[in-house]
Amino acid sequence: MQEASYLPIYKKAEEIYETLQIITALFPEDNDYLQHLKYHLLEDIMVIQAKISGAEAVKLYDIKMENAAIIRKAARDIMISGNHLELLGFSDAAYYKIIRNQIEDFRILFIDWIATFNPKHYIVDNWGLFNPPGISPDHIQQDDELDFLDEEDEDN
């Protein structure tokens, strides 16, 4: 399995983290609302990086998709968090457009990345949320459908 830090999506997440650090460093220290937002923005981007690594560390489609869903939510939270910066007292809110552009680039990389997930590497999700297309939560999995578990870790 490939180490996540070499992936374009992970590199873009690192870039977003660095940009968020720079922009949030401009938030006034005495503005509790902006300091709270800063904490959440940095937390969201760190979650994204951790979940990319987590998805790359496993073979299972459902776990990869679960991580992808968490990444999507965190990225969307970062995207919309800039909506009220001026109202919260941040005079340099225009800089947040940089983050929005980076998140859009990240979204494109995300689409390409999840397309690499192997839908044949699944264990039935009896909750029905992260099964590959066409697999129902009550699908009875055959032993030969689990042969991938014995394969070497060359491919996710």
pLDDT of 144 reads 76
Q: Where residue 12 falls among pLDDT bands split at 50, 70, 90?
A: very high
% of the chain surpassing 90 pLDDT: 69
Reported as a single tens digit per residue, the pLDDT across 37-49 is 999 999 999 999 9
Q: In sequence order, what DSSP letters do the residues of 94-146 get, joined into one string? A: GGHHHHHHHHHHHHHHHHHHHTTS-TTS----TTSSSPPTT--TT----GGGG
List of residues 6+ apart from 28 with CB closer than 8 A: 34, 89, 90
pLDDT of 2 reads 59
What is the reported pTM? 0.90
Reported as a single tens digit per residue, the pLDDT across 141-156 is 877 777 787 777 554 4
Q: What is the mean pLDDT of the chain?
A: 91
What are the angstrom distances between the C-alpha of 96 and each of 36, 101, 129, 136, 145? 16, 9, 33, 42, 47
Reported as a single tens digit per residue, the pLDDT across 82-118 is 898 988 989 999 999 999 999 999 999 999 999 999 9
Cα angle 115-118-123, degrees, rounded to a multiple of 5: 130
